[in-house]
Amino acid sequence: MIELKHLSLSNILTNINITFPEGGYIGIAGPNGSGKSSLARIIKGIQDPSRGEVYINGEIRPKGKVSSGIGLLLSSPENQLVSSSIEEDVAFGLENMNLPSLEIAKRTEEALKLGDLWELRDIPAHHLSAGQQQMLVIAGIMAMQPGYLIIDEGTSMIDPQGRVTVLDAVKKINREKGVGVIHISHDLSEIIVARTIFILDRGNVVWGGEPSKLHHQEPLLRGLGMELPPLLKLKSLMISSGYDISDKAMTAEEMADEVIKVISRSV
Ligand SMILES: Nc1ncnc2c1ncn2[C@@H]1O[C@H](COP(=O)(O)OP(=O)(O)OP(=O)(O)O)[C@@H](O)[C@H]1O
Ligand SMILES: [Mg+2]
């Protein structure tokens, strides 16, 4: 479990208290400059807070210690790839861990298969599409068997199809491998799958709760220049027009069922 307690960073973050449960999926959203990436760097341990502590499994993490059990995926794959060979790129981190070569080969194959890259392993990494490169970075992170994966705007540089691939892979990693996900995005529709969402504004958590309650926060989001995901916008519009739509409807299918229900009630 990761706990942030009374965490501040000069004038960038103010008194942040968030718990990231093991195997959970937490979303963090906020406008440009709200402190999202600073928070990601502090959770990973690349940067120390000026006040407060990061607890890992109940113990204070010492200052200056980077957590190897927390993977960090950034927006640009180019800056995160270390080799032109796909296999070498995944194996690199494992070699630094001094693992036996058989274990490295096994983990590399598993991680590449997870990212649908095993069949492409003889292609130079820079020939992959941006989406595939991002999957390669994820494979490299997953080979290290982290307890948590932080995604800091991990899909902002890739096309819609690559985006879906990466988002599906992240969901699968959370559900099937039990890896805790900390998903940072300025786009709420991307993190709507999270169990809990926190909204940051100028370094403060201004809202935290379940995504199914987010449509009640439209004025707050508007003030931050953020938009409700289209489905939640529809829910909000229908509720404000007097229709009794369940908070629980979160997918297109569930919304369609709700809309059919309220329309058939009103005829
Ligand atoms: N090393 C630094 N020194 C001083 N100020 C910084 C530093 N890094 C970031 N900042 C400032 O801290 C604030 C938060 O930046 P941060 O990158 O964490 O925000 P963000 O929410 O990730 O923004 P974006 O949506 O643009 O990625 C910004 O005002 C930024 O200018
Ligand atoms: Mg950022």
- pLDDT of amino acid 91: 92
CA of 152 to the centre of ligand 2 (A): 7
Residue with tokens 């289209």: 230
Scan for tokens 């080979």, then name that residue. Answer: 143
Note if the pTM is more than 0.85: yes
Lowest-confidence pick of 49-53, 55-59, 178-182, 259-263: 259-263
Residue type, 265: R
Positive or negative CA dihedral for 157, 160, 161, 166? Answer: positive
Q: Tokens 């402190």: give the residue.
A: 35
Q: Measured on CA atoms in the order 73, 173, 195, 155, is the torsion positive or negative?
A: positive
Q: Say if ligand 1 is within 6 A of residue 32 CB.
A: yes
- Chain centroid offset of residue 238 CA: 30
The reported pLDDT for the residue numbered 192 is 93
Identify the sign of the CA torsion 133, 137, 143, 146. Answer: negative
| Mean pLDDT, residues 156-180 | 93
CA 66 – ligand 1 centroid, Å: 20
Q: How far is the CA of 203 from the centre of ligand 1 (A)?
A: 9
Ligand nearest to the CA of 204: 1
Q: Which residues have a Cβ under 8 Å from the Cβ of 233 and sit 6 or more positions away?
A: 215, 218, 227
3-state secondary structure of 208: strand
**How far, CA to CA in Å, does 26 sit from each of 21, 44, 79, 111, 130?**
9, 15, 25, 23, 25
- 77 burial class (0-12, 13-18, 19+ CB within 10 angstroms)? buried
| Contacts (Cβ under 8 Å, ≥6 apart) of 149 | 70, 71, 73, 138, 141, 142, 170, 173, 174, 179, 180, 181, 182
Q: Which of 40-44, 76-80, 193-197 has the lowest mean pLDDT?
A: 76-80
Higher pLDDT, 57 or 239: 57
- Closest ligand 1 atom to residue 153 Cα is 27
At 203, the amino acid letter reads G
> Which atom of ligand 1 is least distant from the CA of 31?
25
Q: In this predicted structure, what is the pLDDT of residue 245?
A: 87
Ligand 1: does its nearest atom lie under 6 Å from the Cβ of 203? Answer: no
Predicted local distance difference test score (pLDDT) of residue 157 = 87
What percentage of the chain has pLDDT greater than the value 90? 78
Q: Which residue owns the Cα nearest ligand 1 atom 31? A: 33
Q: Which residues contact 209 (CB under 8 A, 6 or more apart)?
A: 196, 197
For ligand 1, say whether the CB of 2 is within 6 Å of any of its atoms.
no
Phi, psi for residue 201 in degrees, rounded to 5: -140, 120
pLDDT of residue 195: 96
Closest Cα to atom 17 of ligand 1: 37
In this predicted structure, what is the pLDDT of residue 102?
A: 95
